[in-house]
Homo-oligomer: A and B are copies of this chain.
Amino acid sequence: MTQRAPTGGEFAVIDRLKRRLPGPPAGETWIGDDAAVVGPGKGRVLLTTDATVAGVHADLSVMGLDDLGWRAVATAVSDIAAMGGRADHLLVAVAGPPATDLDLLYQGVAEAAAAHGCAVVGGDLSNATDLVVVVTVSGQVADDPGPVLRGGARSGDRLFVTGPLGASAAGLRTLRAGAEETVLADAYRRPLARLAHGEAARTAGATAMIDVSDGLGADLGHLARSSGIGFRLDDVPVAPGATVDEAIGGGDDYELVFSAPDVGRVTATFAAAGLAPPLVIGICTADASQRAWGDGELPPTGFEHRWS
């Protein structure tokens, strides 16, 4: 969060961005000093960071810079949701070409922060060829029950997903085909992290949880591998307008997949929180190599990284 420019440009930009964002409560210091000062919370602290690279994670030919800013925040906050936590504070580091419309980008950042109930407390601006937005989130989670890790699923636990899948991938497909504004387009451009669902799953006894960022096949694979379990899926709920392939491999839906032993407790907890019941999609099995989907096998597909 160093302000590196002695004069002119960057100061004006930072001042403008600061005015666009809500300010700190008494006793806290946010944007503009060397580091943000925030009060300690109760329970345990959650920390996560996530990079959104234009052209890799976000297609600027079908979305605005405000959408990219929104998406960068939602993607990072989703990792807090997947622990069953609450998102508190955001740091936003932007590296990109000098001509980048930072006001537009920060408009989306501010809208997403407000939508997810958290505050931007600092950031950094740098020059680079690519546009890279790295959002770091600090959050909190209670101690009992504590954060839901990836590795706690047990044989016999049911598998749940908080909503149908594939809308984001279908949105990208239809946007590239020239579609007008649609629900699917919003799913791609303005995803929402499932914070309330994650908290409900945690309090309902979830044993393992992950967000569907890469695709169900990939992310459920992570959960199964971390937990040392296999699974049998009866059903993969497909979002209206999406294909089965998009539901399994598309990713970027930010629904949560979790395991829990007691379907009735899960349903009741979600209802008490005013949330639609999560969909039961299968069961965890003792055979750690099992990846059954109906009569076949769930392909371990998903977002392909380019680091390999």
Interface residues of A (CB under 8 A from B): 1-10, 12-13, 29, 32-51, 53, 56-57, 75, 78-80, 82-83, 85, 89, 91-95, 98, 102, 121-130, 132, 134, 136-139, 141, 146-147, 149-151, 209-211, 213-215, 217-218, 221-222, 226, 300-308
Are B308 and A10 in contact (CB-based, < 8 A)? yes
Determine which of B37, B94, B149, B301 lies in contact with A141 in the assembled complex, contact meaning CB atoms within 8 Å: B37
A95 to B33, CA, bound (A): 26
| Docked pose: A283 CA to B208 CA in angstroms | 58
A33, A51, A80 interface centre (most CB from chain B within 10 Å): A33
Q: What residues of chain B lie closer than 8 Å to A78, measured between beta carbons?
A: 34
Interface centre among A12, A40, A217, A301 (most CB of B within 10 A): A40
B93 & A134 in contact (Cβ 8 Å cutoff): yes
Report Cα–Cα, A306/B96, bound state, in Å: 10
A301–B79 touching, CB < 8 Å: no
Q: Per a CB cutoff under 8 Å, which of B34, B89, B124, B147 touches A134?
A: B124
- Are B122 and A48 in touch, CB under 8 angstroms? yes
Q: Is the CB of A1 within 8 A of B50?
A: yes
Decide: B95 and A53 in contact? CB cutoff 8 A.
yes
- The 8 A-B pairs with the shortest beta carbon distances in the complex, nearest first, are A9-B308, A127-B306, A6-B218, A35-B48, A34-B82, A5-B305, A49-B91, A134-B134
> Is the CB–CB distance between B34 and A47 below 8 Å?
no
Give Cα A307–Cα B46 distance, bound, in whole angstroms. Answer: 32
Given contact pairs A93-B49, A122-B49, A150-B34, A79 touches B1 in the complex (Cβ within 8 A): yes
CA distance A130 to B147 in the complex (A): 35
Q: What is the bound-complex CA distance between A13 and B93, given in angstroms?
A: 24
Q: Tell me if B125 and A305 are in contact (CB < 8 A).
A: yes
